[in-house]
Amino acid sequence: ADEWLLYSQDSPFSGGARGFSRGSIFSRDGRLVASVAQEGLIRLRRERHAEIAKAVSE
């Protein structure tokens, strides 16, 4: 539990109000010891959405 690990992360997709991220954790000798993934959903409040839409259209 006291050795360094390498965490490598990328985000292969983001769009349609969603984001996806994946990661790999490697030991010092290069062995893959764990993998992780997370997906997130993004929703703006209606007021904020209107502000952003207006700013983008200008």
- For residue 16, what are its two tokens? 């349609």
Please tell me the predicted confidence (pLDDT) of residue 58.
Answer: 77
- The ranges assigned to domains in the chain are 6-57
Please tell me the predicted confidence (pLDDT) of residue 16.
Answer: 87
3 state DSSP class of 29:
coil
Question: Strands 6-15 and 32-41: what pairing?
Answer: unpaired
Q: What is the pLDDT of residues 7-57, one digit of tens each?
A: 999 999 888 889 999 999 999 999 999 999 999 998 877 777 778 888 888
For residue 22, which phi and psi values (nearest 5 degrees)? -135, 155
Amino acid at residue number 45: R
Q: Which distant-in-sequence residues (6+ apart) come within 8 Å of 28 by Cβ?
A: 3, 4, 5
Question: In this structure, what DSSP letter does residue 17 have?
Answer: T
Q: Is the pTM of this model over 0.75?
A: no
